[in-house]
């Protein structure tokens, strides 16, 4: 069906002798026949996110795995520690047997694993990466048209993120639902579906101030030495990003059919106990999902619990981290029972996170269908800080680019193959990823459409 | 002084006897793919189950609230110190305040004798793996295959400690350490050579353990790959040379080596062995398996655990570290200065498993086919850091909580103090 209106059309008329106009909400006629794009060909945006949880999943040397499915390919069975993903199994691919390769560098416990996944390089020092995390590359590719290039959240309450452009300074996450709400829906937020949208005069003033000092900024750069130029460059990069945000905010935003501005959350608890962390994860996931639907950002990074997770079951004096190290393998069960129980509880957080993404209808599917989430941990067998068999999961359809619902199993291949796969699914212009023994140009084509 | 000169002369003779004066008739070379203290596991299943070695199983989990209460803390303070919500308890480095439970709140890690011996339960069985170090079949253990006189007091003393106990390759300590080695932290190569025509039965066999700067390589199954090439990296310390003989493929020492050093798969890192011997079997599949034994100093064993962060080791391995100190001191069975001297060393055996590898000389110009010392080729290197994590006195400093002041900085909250009932039993 054709129409003389499109998604940017305004309904115009006269009222009391004055011209008036009204925006039109997003209608199905503005979508293409498949519900995958606007009718004028512009696609529904695809989003990307990373989701990290600490301490791996249970896989013991005597073969007591609690997460690796036995079936390879499509139709894998749901194992005990993947129970929380059962309802979304067809939208989730599981990767087993992949490892981080140290290339002679020592295993920096609770650090080398995820640093390798994100940066492609085994780090030399705890607390830093030897290269930027690849989510920043994706953010540069797809995050320029939104108010936030990326959003970082940390439901455990720790101010911790593994997203970094320099390897030294990491992004600052929102650590509570309230702070996330205020960041996204507080000052500067503009409802994309507001029919009475007007440029914010405060934003215009800020933009004009930055523009006014542009000449002086250039003069200053010319006057200072190299070290100061580096500092100024980092500072002005931040300013440029702010300018970009302001520019975006001065343009009328695209309407987003799925966007419904949420109500502010209540003041939640701040605690490391798993019930509180998971509760915060669910609330923050809901806010984040709507932030994505409202096109405030297209990239996010979530750290559910840090690598050396201090989460615990309320009332227990032992933390999860301690259980992974000191709990013996049960002779009859073949695995560590409390560690496995906690792993399942941690994965419950991930399951609920994905469910919130999948709860938002968008186009002919859900928000999760139009995104790719890479979930991963820092270690395989946490008891010995093993870098073998680090669990990695890809969830979401990525607008049809991810052939989800498969279990891909290898024996010792580099985790960077999955990182490369994620980047290529997202359309980042990257042909290879990683350094040294982890350098690869082989994405996992089985999961790529 | 005289004894030192004699020792020096013996070491010189020993090194000279390993000079490359003639090539060997045969040689076999390997890379170590697993090494751990030789600890016989006497249970039928599991890793901590009761068995003939430890009838009550591995040492039980410690009731830290009780320990801290005996160390001068109130029950509420003890519970608060152990509470995960207490900011002074680090998720990574543990609760530093645990150290301060000696007399006058002394740090028991560096002053273990300020607290009474908690008592470490040792092995009570008769079977042990290892080597007859003193040649006396009437003392020591019986090996699993019936050989008498096995000297392994290290096992007897620490064999019920959870970190060491378990079937081969399954104790938590050996899993952790070998995973580090197999990920490339260090590499040990072995050269075996002989002058006879039959390697399996040769009266003159030399064995050399050396370091290599080349990392271990894993195969497609995640195991250490066979037949990779490694170059010997001369080391001023880590080199172990033995003179022996082979009989039906089993190499045993003809005489004890006065002193050898190996890279220890533990937090101690350095393994000095006096009166060292080998018992190694050349297997049909080309691999090498057996023991290297001798008398090792006991204090570095204890210090290694302290330097690995006392609160972490105590909590994760279920031990009170002072008990390790007392037990090692009590059972040490060898004095380098003679029968009347202080027993500073304890009998010990390391279980070694090695796979075939190509081992080259340090300059990689030719295969290493003879056993000789390469210490003269050592190049000076920067010293390795003294301790991981910046450990001081067994603790990792917390900038917010000076040592010993956890309760001043984070006092017991009212909610914890009022909720602490009279203690009914255990729990930590």
pLDDT score of A444: 98
Same domain, A77 and A113: yes
Coil, strand or helix: which one is B77? helix
Q: And the tokens for A183?
A: 């960041």
Residues A239 and A277 grouped into a single domain:
no
Per the CB < 8 A criterion, the answer to whether B201 and B195 are in contact is no
Residues of A in contact with B311 (CB under 8 A): none
Q: Does any domain span residue B99?
A: no
Chain B residues in contact with A413 by the CB 8 A cut-off are: none
**Contact: A412, B46; criterion CB under 8 Å:** no
Average pLDDT, whole number, for chain B? 91
User: Which chain A residues are within 8 Å of B318, Cβ to Cβ?
Assistant: 326
List of chain A residues with pLDDT < 70: 1-43, 63, 197-216, 227, 230-250, 254, 268
A373 and A399 in a single domain? The answer is yes
Q: Do A385 and B58 touch (CB under 8 A)?
A: no
Give a yes or no: residue A29 inside a domain.
no
The answer to whether the Cβ–Cβ distance between A411 and B180 falls below 8 Å is no
pLDDT > 60? residue B22: no
Q: Using a CB-CB distance cutoff of 8 angstroms, which residues of chain A are in contact with residue B48?
A: 328
CA distance B32 to B35: 7
Supply B146's token pair.
């019936």
For residues A181 and A244, membership in a common domain is answered with: no
A101 in any annotated domain: yes
For chain B, the farthest-separated pair of C-alpha atoms sits apart, in whole angstroms, at: 81
Closest CB to A384: pick one of B47, B61, B179. Answer: B179
* Residue A40: strand, helix, or coil: coil
Q: Are A157 and A286 in contact (CB under 8 A)?
A: no
How many domains are contained in chain A? 2
Question: What's the CA angle centered on B156, arms B150 and B161, to 5 degrees?
Answer: 140
Residue A26 counted as domain residue: no
User: CB of B350 within 8 A of CB of B36?
Assistant: yes
User: Do A427 and A321 have their domain in common?
Assistant: yes
CB atoms inside a 10 Å sphere around CB B272: 18
- Distance from C-alpha of B306 to C-alpha of A380, rounded to nearest angstrom: 27
- DSSP H helical segments within A364-434, as ranges? 416-425
Are A326 and B221 an interchain contact pair (Cβ–Cβ within 8 Å)?
A: no
Residue B355: inside a domain: yes
Q: How far apart, in Å, are the Cα atoms of A271 and each of A274, A310, B87, B425?
A: 8, 10, 11, 28
Asked if B261 and B242 count as a contact pair (C-beta separation under 8 A), the reply is no
| Distances from the Cα of A77 to the Cα of A70, A71, A169, A355, B73, angstroms | 7, 7, 40, 19, 51
The answer to whether B303 touches B386, Cβ cutoff 8 Å, is no
Q: pLDDT of B140-158, one tens digit each?
A: 999 999 999 999 999 999 9
Residue A17 counted as domain residue: no
Q: Which structural domain, as residue segments, surrounds residue B207?
A: 3-57+120-298+344-377
A105 touches chain B (CB under 8 A): yes
DSSP string, A72-83: -EESPPPPGGGG
Residues A65 and A163 in one domain: yes
**Residue A7, in any domain of the structure:** no
A411 contact residues in B (CB cutoff 8 A): 220-222
Q: Give the up-direction half-sphere exposure of residue B129: CA atoms within 13 A in the CB hemisphere.
A: 22
Q: B401: which strand partners?
A: B398
Q: Check whether residue A169 and residue A263 sit in a common domain.
A: yes
Q: Cβ of A145 under 8 Å from any chain B Cβ?
A: no
Selected for mutation to probe chain A from B161, B179, B216 (highest A CB count within 10 Å) is B179
Chain B: residues touching A (Cβ < 8 Å): 45-49, 58, 61, 79, 82-85, 91-92, 162, 169-170, 172, 175-176, 179-180, 183-185, 215, 218-222, 315-318, 427-428
CB under 8 Å to A232, separation ≥6 — which residues? A220, A221, A224
Q: Which of A249, A270, A285 is the last residue of a domain?
A: A249
Pairing of strands B257-263, B250-253: unpaired
Chain B residues touching A106 at Cβ < 8 A: 180, 185
Tell which of A229, A249, A269 closes a domain: A249
Q: Which domain holds residue A210?
A: 201-249
As given in the structure block, the two tokens for residue A394 are: 């890809």
Indicate which of A68, A96, A108, A384 best probes the interface with B, i.e. most B CBs within 10 Å of its own CB. A384
Which residues of chain B have a CB within 8 Å of the CB of A107?
179-180, 183, 185
Residues A407 and A397: their CA atoms lie apart, in Å, by: 15
> Which of these, B116, B120, B88, B82, lies nearest to B102 by C-alpha position?
B116
Cβ distance of B315 and A309 shorter than 8 Å: no
Q: Is the dihedral of CA A378, A381, A383, A386 positive or negative?
A: negative
Q: Is A61's CB within 8 Å of B45's CB? A: no
Q: A417 in contact with B at a CB cutoff of 8 Å?
A: no
Note the pLDDT of residue A376.
98
| CA distances for B95 relative to A381, B84, B98, B314, B327, angstroms | 24, 10, 6, 10, 24
DSSP code at position A56: -
Share of chain B above pLDDT 70, in %: 90
C-alpha to C-alpha distance for B309 and B302, rounded to whole angstroms:
12
CB atoms within 10 A of CB A141: 17
Which chain A residues have a beta carbon less than 8 Å from that of B169? Answer: 61
C-beta atoms of A106 and B58 within 8 A: no
Nearest to A411 among B172, B184, B220 (CB): B220
Q: How big is the A-B interface in CB pairs under 8 Å? A: 88
Q: Minimal CA–CA distance to A139: which of A149, A151, A153, A152? A: A149
Contact residues on chain B for A322, CB-CB shorter than 8 A: 315-316
Residue B246, strand partner residues:
B202, B251
Q: Are residues A138 and A271 in the same domain?
A: yes
What span, in angstroms and rounded, lies between the C-alpha atoms of A192 and B21? 86
Please indicate, yes or no, whether the overall pTM of this predicted structure exceeds 0.95.
no
Single out the residue of A408, A404, A398, A354 nearest to residue A91, CA to CA.
A404
| Average confidence (pLDDT) over B149-173 | 96
Distances (CA, A) of A251 to A254, A412, B376: 9, 49, 74
A62 in contact with chain B, both atoms CB, cutoff 8 A: yes
* 3 state DSSP class of A13: strand
Cβ contacts of residue A404 below 8 Å, gap of 6+?
A90, A91, A92, A93, A394, A395, A396, A397, A447
Looking at the structure, do residues A66 and A108 belong to the same domain, yes or no? Answer: yes
Closest chain A C-alpha to B176 CA, distance in angstroms: 5
Residue A291 lies in a domain: yes
CA atoms of B203 and B25, how far apart (whole Å):
12
Structure tokens at A444: 């996992």
Amino acid A389: pLDDT: 95
**Residue A300 belongs to domain with CATH number:** 3.40.720.10
- In-domain check, residue B256: yes
Which residue in B379, B378, B362, B361 sits closest to B370, CA to CA? Answer: B361
A328: contact with B, CB 8 A cutoff: yes
ipTM of the complex: 0.76
Q: Is B9 helix (H, G, I), strand (E, B) or coil?
A: helix
CA distance A135 to chain B (A): 27
Structurally, how many domains does chain B consist of? 1
Q: Does residue B423 belong to any structural domain of this protein?
A: no
Sequence-separated (6 or more) residues with CB below 8 Å from residue B427: A317, B63, B65
Cβ distance A331 to B45 less than 8 Å, yes or no, reads yes
Does B83 fall in a domain?
A: no
Are residues A385 and A338 located together in one domain of the fold?
Answer: yes
Q: Which of B34, B58, B61, B91 to mutate to test the interface with A (most CBs of A within 10 A)?
A: B91
- Tell me the chain A residues in contact with residue B84 when contact means C-beta distances shorter than 8 Å: 272-273, 310, 312, 316-319
Q: Which two tokens stand for residue A79?
A: 């194992």
End-to-end CA distance of chain B: 52
Q: Is residue A140 part of a domain?
A: yes
- The reported pLDDT for the residue numbered B21 is 47
Residue A157 DSSP SS3: coil
Shortest distance, CA A132 to any CA of chain B (angstroms): 24
Chain B residue closest to A125 (CA)? B389
* Alpha helix segments (H runs only) across B124-204: 153-158, 172-182
Does the distance separating the beta carbons of B175 and A325 come in below 8 Å? no
A232 and A115 in a single domain? The answer is: no
Average pLDDT over residues B101-120: 97
Residue contact A326–B316, C-beta within 8 A: yes
Residue A65, in any domain of the structure: yes
Q: Which of B92, B175, B215 sits opposite A383 (nearest CB)?
A: B175
Res A60: pLDDT: 81
* Cβ neighbours of A388 in B, within 8 Å: 222
Clarify whether residues A164 and A205 are in a common domain.
no
The answer to whether A388 faces chain B, any CB pair under 8 Å, is yes
Residue B66: is its pLDDT beyond 80?
A: yes
Nearest CB neighbour to B47, from listed A308, A328, A385: A328
Please state, in angstroms and rounded to a whole number, the distance separating the CA atoms of residues B242 and B230: 21
The distance between the two most distant Cα atoms of chain A, rounded to a whole number of Å, is 86
**Residue-wise over A9-20: b if at least 16 C-beta within 10 A, else e?**
eeeeeeeeeeee
CA distance A405 to A62: 28
Q: How far apart are CA B309 and CA B314, in angstroms?
A: 9
Q: Does A271 touch chain B (CB under 8 A)?
A: yes
- The torsion angles phi and psi of A208, rounded to 5 degrees, stand at -70, -30
**Residue B371, pLDDT score:** 97
3-state SS of A328-394 is CCCCCCCCCHHHHHHHHHHHHHHHHHHHHHHCCEECCEECHHHEEEEEECCCCCHHHCCCCCCCEEE
* Spatial separation of the C-alpha atoms in residues B281 and A432, rounded to whole Å: 46
> What is A84-132 written as a DSSP string?
GGGGGGGGEEEEES-B---TTS---TTTHHHHHHHHSS--SSTT--SS-
Residue B289 clears pLDDT 90, i.e. is over it: yes
Best of B66, B84, B416 to substitute, by most chain A Cβ atoms within 10 angstroms, is: B84
Q: What is the rounded distance in angstroms from the CA atom of residue A296 to the CA atom of residue B402?
A: 44
């Amino acid at each position: 069906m054709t129409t003389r209106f499109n998604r940017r059309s305004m309904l115009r008329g006269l009222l009391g002798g004055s011209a008036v106009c009204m925006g039109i909400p997003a209608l199905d006629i503005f979508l293409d026949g498949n519900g995958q794009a606007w009718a004028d060909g512009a696609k529904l945006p695809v989003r990307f996110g990373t989701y990290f949880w600490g301490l791996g999943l249970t896989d013991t040397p005597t073969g007591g795995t609690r997460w690796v499915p036995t079936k390879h390919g499509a139709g894998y069975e749901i194992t005990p520690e993947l129970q929380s993903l059962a309802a979304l199994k067809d939208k989730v691919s599981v990767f087993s047997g992949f490892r981080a390769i140290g290339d002679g560098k020592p295993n920096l416990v609770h650090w080398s694993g995820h640093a390798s996944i994100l940066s492609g390089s085994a780090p030399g020092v705890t607390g830093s990466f030897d290269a930027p995390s690849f989510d920043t590359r994706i953010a540069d590719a797809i995050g320029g048209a939104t108010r936030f290039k990326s959003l970082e959240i940390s439901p455990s309450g720790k101010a911790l993120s593994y997203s970094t452009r320099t390897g030294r300074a990491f992004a600052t996450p929102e650590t509570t639902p309230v702070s996330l709400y205020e960041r996204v829906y507080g000052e500067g937020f503009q409802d994309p579906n507001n029919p009475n949208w007007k440029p914010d005069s405060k934003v215009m003033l800020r933009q004009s101030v930055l523009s006014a000092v542009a000449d002086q900024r250039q003069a200053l750069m010319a006057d200072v030495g190299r070290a100061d130029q580096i500092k100024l460059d980092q500072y002005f990069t931040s300013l440029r990003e702010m300018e970009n945000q302001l520019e975006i905010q001065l343009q009328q935003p695209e309407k987003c059919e799925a966007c419904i501005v949420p109500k502010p959350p209540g003041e939640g608890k701040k605690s490391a106990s798993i019930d509180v962390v998971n509760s915060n994860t669910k609330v923050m996931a809901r806010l984040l999902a709507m932030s994505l639907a409202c096109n405030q950002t297209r990239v996010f990074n979530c750290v559910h619990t840090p690598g050396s997770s201090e989460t615990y079951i309320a009332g227990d004096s032992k933390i999860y981290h301690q259980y992974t190290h000191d709990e013996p393998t049960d002779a009859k069960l073949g695995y560590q029972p409390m560690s496995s129980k906690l792993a399942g509880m941690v994965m419950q957080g991930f399951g609920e996170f994905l469910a919130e993404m999948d709860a938002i209808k968008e186009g002919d599917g859900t928000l999760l269908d139009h995104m790719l989430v890479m979930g991963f941990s820092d270690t395989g067998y946490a008891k010995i800080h093993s870098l073998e068999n680090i669990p990695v999961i890809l969830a979401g359809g990525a607008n049809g680019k991810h052939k989800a619902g498969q279990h891909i199993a290898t024996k010792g291949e580099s985790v960077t193959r999955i990182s490369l796969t994620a980047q290529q699914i997202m359309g980042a212009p990257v042909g290879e990823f990683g350094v040294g023994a982890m350098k690869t140009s082989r994405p996992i084509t089985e999961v790529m459409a | 002084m005289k004894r030192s000169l004699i020792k020096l002369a013996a070491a010189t003779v020993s090194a000279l006897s390993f000079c490359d004066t003639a090539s060997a008739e045969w040689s076999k070379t390997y890379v170590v793919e697993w090494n751990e203290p030789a600890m016989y596991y006497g249970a039928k299943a599991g890793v901590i189950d009761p068995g003939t070695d430890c009838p009550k199983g591995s040492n039980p989990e410690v009731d830290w609230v009780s320990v801290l209460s005996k160390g001068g803390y109130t029950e509420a303070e003890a519970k608060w110190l152990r509470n995960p919500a207490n900011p002074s308890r680090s998720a990574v480095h543990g609760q530093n305040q645990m150290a301060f439970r000696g007399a006058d709140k002394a740090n028991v890690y560096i002053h273990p004798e300020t607290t009474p011996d908690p008592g470490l339960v040792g092995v009570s069985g008769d079977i042990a793996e290892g080597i007859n170090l003193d040649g006396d079949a009437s003392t020591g253990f019986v090996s699993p295959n019936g050989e008498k006189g096995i000297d392994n007091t290290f096992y007897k003393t620490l064999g019920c400690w959870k970190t060491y106990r378990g079937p081969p390759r399954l104790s938590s300590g050996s899993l952790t350490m070998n995973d580090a080695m197999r990920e490339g932290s260090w590499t040990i190569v072995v050269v075996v050579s002989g002058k006879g025509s039959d390697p399996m039965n040769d009266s003159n066999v030399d064995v050399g353990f050396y370091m290599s700067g080349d990392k271990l390589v894993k195969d497609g199954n995640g195991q250490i790959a066979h037949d990779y090439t490694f170059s010997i990296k001369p080391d001023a310390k880590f080199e172990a040379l033995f003179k022996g003989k082979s009989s039906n493929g089993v190499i045993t020492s003809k005489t004890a080596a006065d002193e050898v050093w190996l890279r220890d798969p533990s937090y101690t890192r350095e393994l000095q062995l006096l009166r060292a011997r080998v018992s190694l079997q050349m297997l049909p599949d080309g691999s090498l398996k057996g023991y290297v034994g001798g008398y090792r100093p006991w204090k570095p064993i204890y210090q290694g655990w302290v330097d690995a962060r006392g609160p972490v080791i105590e909590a994760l391995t279920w031990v009170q570290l002072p008990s390790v100190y007392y037990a090692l001191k009590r059972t040490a069975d060898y004095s380098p200065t003679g029968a009347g001297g202080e027993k500073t060393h304890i009998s010990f055996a390391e279980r070694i498993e090695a796979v075939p590898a190509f081992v080259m000389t340090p300059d990689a110009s030719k295969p290493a086919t003879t056993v000789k010392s390469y210490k003269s080729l050592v190049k000076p290197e920067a010293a390795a850091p003294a301790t991981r994590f910046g450990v001081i006195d067994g603790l990792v400093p917390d900038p917010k909580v000076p040592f010993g002041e956890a309760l001043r900085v984070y006092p017991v909250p009212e909610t914890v103090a009022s909720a602490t009932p009279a203690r009914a039993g255990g729990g930590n």
